[in-house]
Structure 1
Amino acid sequence: MNWIPLTDEKQLAEIVETSQEKPVVIFKHSTRCSISSTALNRFERAWDSENTPAYYLDLIAYRPISGQIAEQFAVEHQSPQVLVIDKGACPYSATHWDISVDEIKPYLNA
């Protein structure tokens, strides 16, 4: 998986810009949570959309960015959480055991 580390709030503007051309995925992960680790592992094993930019946010190291994501895309902060950003909006998000590559795919090919 070719994660793009999400380490700066300024990257959110890049995500919005990129999403005008193609959907972008953000995976919010808590490195202290076993559920989050399991969800991340399942996601990475199933991921096959190498043409889709995929950002990885370490919530422990960059918690303020998660708050900015929640505000900017009108989603409640959760961990773990996956979001699809398309045309600057978040048409899909899932948390915990609901995180599934198969559920995301229709939003990547829209």
Structure 2
Amino acid sequence: MSLIQLHNEQDWNLVKDQKKRIIVMKNSTTCPVSHEAFKEYQKFAEGHENETIYYLNVQDSRPLSNALAEQTGIKHESPQVLILEGDDVVWHASHWNITNKKLVSALDQTKA
């Protein structure tokens, strides 16, 4: 599994500059809904070892979370998953809509 934590905008800029599909989750470390969504996200990551999958904890990385909302134009929610192709968000979901099944389906739909 390739699940990598992002901590700040410098981390994000390195990822974004690679110009490949980006899958990132905004996770709250204190919210039970986020906890369940993160377990689904981990299950998804385990089944997609060929993908590099990112996450950030909003309590630890608030400036990065805010920057993602500003750069993507997608209102911040937590938990939230974004799939980006270049600078475009091609799929996003939040709260109970973050499931392994929905993530697999979204990935299949967004593959070029």
Q: Same fold (TM over 0.5)?
A: yes
1:37 aligns with 2:35: yes
Residue 27 (structure 1) shift:
0.8
Q: Which one-letter code corresponds to 2:107 in the other structure?
A: K
Alpha-carbon distance in 2 for matches of 1:53, 1:88 = 17
Unaligned runs of 5+ in 1: none
Say what the alpha-carbon RMSD is for the aligned residues. Answer: 1.6
Unaligned runs of 5+ in 2: none
Alpha-carbon distance in 1 for matches of 2:41, 2:12 = 22
Residue-pair matches, total: 108
- Identity fraction in percent: 31
Aligned ranges 1:20-35 → 2 under 5 Å: 20=19, 22-35=20-33
Alpha-carbon distance in 2 for matches of 1:46, 1:2 = 11
Contact 2:2 2:51 in 1 (8 A): no
> Runs of at least 4 residues of structure 1 off by over 6 A?
none
Q: TM-score, normalising length from structure 1?
A: 0.87
Q: TM-score, normalising length from structure 2?
A: 0.86
Q: Which one-letter code corresponds to 1:41 in the other structure?
A: K
Residue 89 (structure 1) shift:
1.8
